[in-house]
């Protein structure tokens, strides 16, 4: 018997209307666990690197994680993997909610969709009965509205539905996939659904999901719950309230937004407003938020209330659900001081299905171009005076791909190059062709330098975590933080604790401190824990993201072993995560990712140190077992059982014969 996974994928070919239930290979589970890991393996095996992301040949995988649907709190993530139209690299955006557990109960670990339907369709998975159904009547409908209509049509209120809005249908490069309170929004995966004519997937499942060592597994899950309760009573001391607890930043429950509004940049990642958060603002925002949040809500089997129900009279559904930082992205992008505007536009944008990080940045970019005469009244006929109104105007143009909206629909990087006339200069906050969180700071942070440069999940919040954002101000707070810091990997305890104790002291400040080997270890630890979560389907909010999370490298192997019956220890789990990490990198290298793409925007920090930065990158590559071009060496790949990947990279000239490719060779290739 297979434990925690169903052992079956659902394969759907929309071109031919073919649906198959396919048994999966248990050896892949041992090598990659599930979720992101097995998704990457499928993408590597099946999608040739020259594939156009918006062509029928691209596939899109909707996956649960290995622990998805079990009693492990927060094991509810849906991991969507495909090729991104925006970055042209592998996209692996994910979301919480209820969809992936329901898929497991229906009897599938993944839905793999290829081809292109002749019209707009949706997929209905009712346990073993799967249908491709006509969705022409849902054309242009909002994402939540679509879900409502499908539930009514199927007469199944318990069906869990993910859907795209108009932005996805129109293949906006940053179109999201929306599901109840959650969004999978990075990399334009909604556009890939749209390119296939797939409006939504509804699922209902009533089958058992089996556990290998039931009593032992539940005992571990119960400990997680108890720890969550403990942390409610014992927030981390000495950090902003928004970072003191578990979950994603509790922005629906907490009103105090001083940290985000004063640390992050406003407009087109342009202005830091250190004095924004006044008593008066706090009072006004508190009033708006109390009025706007009807109920705090959770994802499947997780007590954290990171989301909220928000009334919205303009929407056909009259309500929508919000989470986290999207409350601020539009407000800050539009330089609007009004939180109400944020709640209003985010609701519309979510129904259209656009990424709440990227969309406001594209709009802020357009506003800057207009103010600098690069876009004119001809491009923006009837462009309103007020920034807030301009954002509504731009949202409408973008999702309809109307006029200049058709260009802006491709994101800042591509739009800047299409518009020309110096627009490229205003593209100052993208990495790997993708908008990043608007942070512009003073002194280079060497840990974040590597994270921003080498991250392939494209979003910094998806690879960072567990480390305070600044040194604790007092010795007492430092001691308090490290005294029960059990989350550190074996063998690194003393080093990491010493880092916390010394950080901020005389001579112990960035950028030339700490030693590079420790920087590499801290970076790898942060990112690796995310990759583990993404294979298991756990939410980073209880695991890799917050300070002192509930899940960590010591209890995860125990949890996985009891759940699955596999015998996995700390080293084994680390190796699996490394295997996935290197396979993801190989997929991207094969699609053209190069060292030159691995750099934060020039103005990310005021104080830069080019030589030192180059050294940081080189040392990190070396630490990862990658050559000077950032390509995993033959030894690294073979050591992870990825010899076939090494062979392919060598065949394509990405990796040179003996496993070390020189910079000159790849430089030549780029000129070609």
- Enumerate the β-bridge partners of residue 184: 177
Please check whether residue 635 is in contact with residue 659, taking contact to mean a CB–CB distance below 8 angstroms. Answer: yes
Pick 20 or 208: Cβ nearer other proteins: 208
Pick 60 or 560: Cβ nearer other proteins: 560
Could you give the C-alpha distances from 480 to 10, 57, 238, in angstroms and in order? 49, 54, 10
Residues 309-321 as b/e (b if ≥16 CB within 10 A, e otherwise) read bbebeebebeebb
Least Å from the CB of residue 318 to other proteins: 7
Least Å from the CB of residue 221 to other proteins: 9
Identify the CA nearest to 369 among candidates 343, 403, 331, 404: 404
Pick 215 or 483: Cβ nearer other proteins: 215
Least Å from the CB of residue 424 to other proteins: 42
Task: Name the token pair of 334.
Answer: 């539009």
Q: Report d(CA 415, CA 413) in Å as an integer.
A: 6
Least Å from the CB of residue 59 to other proteins: 29
Pick 176 or 182: Cβ nearer other proteins: 182
Q: Report d(CA 626, CA 258) in Å as an integer.
A: 40
What's 632's DSSP letter? B
Pick 232 or 475: Cβ nearer other proteins: 232
**What separation, in Å, do the N-terminal and C-terminal C-alpha atoms of the chain show?**
52
Please check whether residue 202 is in contact with residue 131, taking contact to mean a CB–CB distance below 8 angstroms. Answer: no
Pick 60 or 211: Cβ nearer other proteins: 211
Least Å from the CB of residue 339 to other proteins: 21
Q: How many Cα atoms within 13 Å fall on the side-chain side of residue 604?
A: 23
Give φ, ψ of 549 to 5 degrees.
Answer: -75, 170
Pick 52 or 229: Cβ nearer other proteins: 229
Pick 13 or 102: Cβ nearer other proteins: 102
Give φ, ψ of 465 to 5 degrees.
Answer: 155, 170
Least Å from the CB of residue 461 to other proteins: 22
Please check whether residue 80 is in contact with residue 457, taking contact to mean a CB–CB distance below 8 angstroms. Answer: no
Pick 217 or 545: Cβ nearer other proteins: 217
Please check whether residue 545 is in contact with residue 529, taking contact to mean a CB–CB distance below 8 angstroms. Answer: no
Least Å from the CB of residue 232 to other proteins: 8
Residues composing the chain: 672
CB-count exposure of residue 178 (10 Å: 0-12, 13-18, 19+): buried
Least Å from the CB of residue 33 to other proteins: 18
Least Å from the CB of residue 98 to other proteins: 8
Contacts with other proteins, residue ranges (CB under 8 A): 69-71, 73, 98, 105, 144, 148, 157, 180-181, 205-211, 214-215, 217-218, 225, 228-229, 232, 294-303, 305, 309, 317-319, 321
């Amino acid at each position: 018997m297979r434990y925690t996974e169903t052992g079956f994928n659902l394969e759907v070919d929309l071109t031919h209307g073919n649906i198959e239930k396919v048994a999966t290979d248990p050896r892949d589970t041992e090598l990659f666990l599930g979720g992101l890991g097995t998704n990457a393996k499928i993408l590597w095996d099946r999608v040739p690197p020259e594939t156009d992301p918006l062509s029928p040949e691209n596939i899109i995988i909707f996956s649960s994680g290995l622990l998805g649907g079990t009693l492990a709190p927060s094991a509810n993530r849906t991991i969507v993997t495909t090729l991104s139209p925006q970055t042209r690299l592998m996209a692996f955006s994910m979301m919480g909610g209820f969809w992936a557990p329901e898929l497991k109960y229906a009897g599938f670990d993944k839905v793999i969709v290829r081809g292109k339907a002749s019209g707009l369709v949706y997929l209905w998975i009712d346990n073993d009965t799967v249908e491709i159904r006509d969705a022409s009547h849902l054309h242009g409908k909002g994402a939540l509205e679509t879900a409502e209509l499908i539930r009514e049509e199927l007469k199944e209120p318990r069906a869990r539905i993910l859907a795209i809005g108009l932005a996805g249908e129109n293949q906006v490069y940053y179109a999201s996939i929306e599901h109840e309170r959650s969004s999978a929004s990075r990399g334009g995966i909604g556009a890939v659904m749209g390119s296939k004519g797939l409006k939504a997937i509804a699922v209902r499942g009533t089958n058992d999901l089996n556990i290998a060592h039931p009593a032992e597994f539940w005992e571990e899950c119960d400990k997680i719950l108890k720890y969550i309760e403990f942390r409610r009573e014992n927030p981390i001391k000495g950090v902003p309230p928004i970072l003191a607890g578990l979950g994603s930043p509790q922005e629906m429950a907490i009103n105090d937004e001083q940290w985000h509004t004063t640390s992050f940049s406003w407009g087109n990642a342009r202005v830091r407003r250190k004095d924004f958060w006044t008593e008066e603002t706090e009072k006004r925002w508190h009033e708006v938020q109390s009025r706007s949040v009807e109920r705090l809500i959770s994802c499947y089997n997780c007590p954290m209330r990171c989301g909220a129900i928000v009334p919205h009279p303009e929407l056909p559904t009259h309500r929508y659900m919000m989470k986290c930082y999207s409350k601020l992205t539009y407000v800050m992008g539009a330089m609007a001081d009004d939180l109400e505007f944020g709640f209003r536009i985010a609701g519309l944008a979510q129904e259209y299905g656009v990424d709440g990080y990227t969309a406001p940045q594209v709009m802020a970019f357009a506003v800057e171009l207009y103010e600098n005469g690069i876009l004119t009244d001809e491009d923006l006929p009837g462009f309103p005076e007020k920034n807030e109104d301009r954002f509504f105007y731009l949202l409408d143009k973008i999702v309809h791909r109307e006029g200049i909206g058709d260009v802006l629909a491709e994101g800042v990087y591509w739009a800047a190059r299409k518009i020309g006339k110096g627009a490229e200069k205003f593209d100052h906050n993208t990495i790997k062709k993708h908008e990043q969180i608007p942070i512009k700071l003073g002194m280079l942070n060497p840990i974040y330098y590597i994270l921003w440069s080498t991250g392939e999940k494209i979003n910094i919040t998806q690879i960072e975590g567990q480390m305070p954002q600044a040194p604790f101000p007092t010795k007492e707070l430092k001691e308090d933080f490290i005294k029960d810091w059990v989350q550190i990997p074996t063998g690194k305890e003393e080093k990491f604790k010493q880092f916390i104790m010394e950080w901020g002291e005389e001579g112990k400040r960035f950028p030339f401190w700490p030693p590079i080997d420790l920087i590499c270890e801290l970076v790898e630890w942060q990112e690796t824990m995310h990759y583990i979560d993404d294979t298991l389907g756990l939410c980073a909010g209880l695991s890799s993201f917050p300070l002192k999370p509930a899940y960590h490298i010591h209890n995860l192997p125990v949890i996985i072993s009891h759940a699955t019956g596999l015998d996995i220890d700390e080293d084994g789990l680390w190796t699996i995560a490394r295997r996935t990490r290197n396979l993801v990198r190989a997929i991207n290298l094969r699609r053209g990712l190069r060292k030159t793409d691995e750099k934060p925007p020039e103005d990310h920090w005021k104080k830069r140190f080019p030589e030192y930065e180059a050294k940081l990158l080189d040392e990190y590559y070396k630490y990862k077992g990658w050559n000077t071009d950032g390509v995993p060496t033959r030894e690294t790949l073979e050591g992870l059982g990825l010899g076939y990947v090494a062979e392919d990279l060598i065949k394509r000239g990405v990796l040179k014969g003996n496993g070390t490719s020189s910079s000159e060779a790849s430089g030549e290739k780029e000129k070609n």
